[in-house]
Amino acid sequence: MIELDSISKTYMTEETETRALRDVSLGIATGEFVAVMGPSGCGKSTLMNILGMIDRPTAGQYRFEDNDVSRFTEKELVEFRKKSLGFVFQNFNLIDEMSVEENIALPLLYRGIARKQRKSRVREALELVGLVGRGRHRPTQLSGGQQQRVAVARAVIADPKLILADEPTGNLDSANGAEVMNLLTLLNQDGATILMVTHSTEEAALAGRVIAMKDGRVQTDRQAPASTES
């Protein structure tokens, strides 16, 4: 599904040059659940952003289902991102002024899906994340775990080919974190391809594959040991 070939990313400021990624090459197959681990500043989020097509590599080639994404124009990237990717962020990034239903429906809205269809798909997504009856609530009326489940529902509602989760439990307590991880595991079991950035070895163990990064390079890339919980 995904092929990264010698991807590098350098952030330039007037005085300094920061190399966030250095010659990263890896592949992700359809249906995989990949965890990316590493200390702060190792390039995890940069890798995630490049995979999510919200940032461009400085060098290297990024192929997504045989499309050379690194050559895409801005407009093509928007279109490709819209139909292929779902995002879950550590800080949820829900829009506080919108209801839960409206937040979840947002990707469909930008895809031009009709209102009636949006409603039924939002209902399904709410069922999936266990938040039926909370659709008209505002995000601020929900717990952190519930908010992240809303973010997961928003990420999956448009049937993306890849779900990118950037420390999805980072702002949650252990109980809520476990709920979110269960949800992601279920999604993966249903066939979703997931790439998750995490600091937690326990959560990484839930993924089938763990990529460890350090100083912008892939340090190890191995299949995860079976989780004690699973």
Partner 1 sequence: MYLHYLRNAGRQLKRSPFTAEMNIVSLALGFTCFFAAIAVNAYWSLSDSVLDGSKSIYVLTQEYGEGSQRTGFRPRVTAPIARYLQSDFPTLAAVARVGNKRRWTVTWGSQKLHLTGARADAALVDVFDFDVVAGNLETALAGPDNVVMTSRAAKRLFGDRNPIGLNILVGEDFSPVVRAVVALPDGPTHFGPDEEASGYFDFLYAWPDESGQPEWWLSIGPVTYVRFDPTVSSMTPEILRSELDAFMARHLPPDQANMAVTQLDLIPLSQLPTRTLDLALFESRADSLSITWILNLLGVMVLAVAGLNYANLATAQAALGIKQMGMRKVLGATRLQVFQQYWVESLAQSVVAAVLAVCALLLLAPAVQRETGIDLLLGLSERLTHWPLFLVIVVVVATLSCLLPAVRMMQIEPIQALRHGAVAPFSRFVASGLVVFQFAVTCTLVTLLIVVQLQNNHVQSSALGSDPRSLLILTDDDSRALGYKSIAEALREERRVEGATSMDFLPWSNHENFLRVSREETGVDGVQQVFLNQVGYRYFSTFGTQLLAGRTFSEERGDTETSSLSDAAAIGDPVEIVVDLTLIRLLGFDTAEDALGADLYLSREFRQTLDMNPVMTIVGVVETRPLVLSASGTRANLYLLNDAPYFYPVVKLADGGSPAAVRAVSEAVQSRRPNAMVRYELFDEAFGRGFAPVDRFTKAVRLLSVLAIAIAVLGLVGMAIFKTHRRRHEIGVRKTMGASSYQVAVLILRDFSIPVVAGCLLSLPFAYWATQAYLSGFIDAIDVSVLPWLIAVVGCVLLSWLAAGGQAYSAARQLPSDVLRSE
Binding site for partner 1 (CB under 8 A): 49, 52, 54-55, 74-75, 78, 81-82, 87, 89, 93, 95, 97-98, 106-107, 109-112, 154, 158
Which is closer to partner 1, CB of 74 or CB of 223? 74
Which is closer to partner 1, CB of 72 or CB of 204? 72
Report CA torsion sign: 190, 130, 197, 104: positive
> Shortest gap between Cβ of 107 and partner 1 (angstroms)?
5
> Shortest gap between Cβ of 96 and partner 1 (angstroms)?
8
User: Which residues in 143-227 belong to E strands, given as ranges?
Assistant: 162-166, 193-197, 209-214, 217-223
In the chain, how long is the greatest CA-to-CA distance?
Answer: 53
Distance of CA 3 to the CA centre of its chain: 17
Which is closer to partner 1, CB of 82 or CB of 214? 82
> Shortest gap between Cβ of 91 and partner 1 (angstroms)?
9
> Shortest gap between Cβ of 222 and partner 1 (angstroms)?
29
Which is closer to partner 1, CB of 104 or CB of 180? 104
Report CA torsion sign: 211, 197, 101, 74: negative
Closest CA to 37 of 224, 226, 161, 210: 210
